[in-house]
Amino acid sequence: MARISTIETGFYRIPLPVTLSDSTHGEIAAFELITCRIRDADGAEGVGYTYTVGRNGGATADILKREIPPLVEGREADDTEAIWHHVWWGLHYGGRGGPAVLALSALDIALWDLKARRAKLPLFRLLGGFDAHVPCYAGGIDLDLSVEALLAQTDGNLAKGFCAIKMKVGRPDLKSDVARVAAMRKHLGDGFPLMADANMKWTVEDAIRAARAFVPYDLTWLEEPVIPDDVAGHARIMQAGGVPIAAGENLRSLWEFKNYIVAGAVSYPEPDVTNCGGVSAFMKIARLAEAFNLPVTSHGAHDITVHLLAACPNRSYLEAHGFGLDKYIEHPLVLADGKALAPDRPGHGISFDWKGLAKLSP
């Protein structure tokens, strides 16, 4: 083992080629990337990152730069579990979520990358290794696209090799949502995996009404129909809506996922490794889901998460959308027969274009 020597934080604002939108976040013209580079006393390096959709990235970067280094410098880098708990409780009073857990996630990802690199193993094998070929869907941020543009985007994703598609719902009128879902189902054909994401738009009653309206179109799941704080509401939608529910991208801890799962409030737990507490927390959430015979999916950060789902026997689908990040990494995600391939490079295998990113520092 080697002790942590230095931590370097990066903060970048990455413009998107096309402004995106959903039902709650509004227009998204850029996303914020916060990176964490850890070096140990032997000079080995691990890299982690987190992101936002445009706000609070500076707060996350500040925590990584100012608050976390005194908690971890000089500790054994391989002690990921001990470090995770030390940082969690060190930031707990002013944390328990938000920028603090995003910063912890980036740190934890970097530590696991360092550990796998030192072991000369791809991350998914260090985590246990199940199957490097992970079912994958294209996650569209497309609420305001016309039906014609939505179908054209879908054709582009099909041409890239995706064999499952997610679309946005949550427009001002349910009739419009239903028409778009119907158009997608007709376009894709029966049996093609299709998901819909409402981004927390509705009340519970509105969500139940929407879910029932979507039943004829055979959705794989309806995602985030209401706010993440309403566990009981999700359970009611599960019971009355007739459609499986995915949720979790806005949950920030293992314990929040536990509350959902034991309440029967989710069909597909959906952690995001960059905001749920990192690799350490993601894998515990996946194992918890497995114990309840639930399939686990993912949100964001597909280049890291492909390794995590490749180590899970209960994985369902990897979400793929890079928020423009592919331009700044050496090896973008590879698809084969509709599945994402966990790379066999040591660590998570992400190599950033640091010079290119430096031009985007705010």
The residues annotated as belonging to the active site are 168, 299
Give counts: helices (H), strands (E), the chain: 13, 12
- Chain centre distance of CA 358: 24
C-alpha to C-alpha distance for 123 and 275, rounded to whole angstroms: 19
**DSSP type of residue 350:** -
Distances (CA, A) of 207 to 170, 253, 264, 292: 10, 25, 16, 25
C-alpha to C-alpha distance for 282 and 308, rounded to whole angstroms: 8
Give the bridge partners for 352, in sequence order: 329
**Burial of 164 per CB tally in 10 Å (0-12, 13-18, 19+):** buried
Cβ atoms of residues 347 and 113 within 8 Å: yes
C-alpha to C-alpha distance for 199 and 279, rounded to whole angstroms: 24
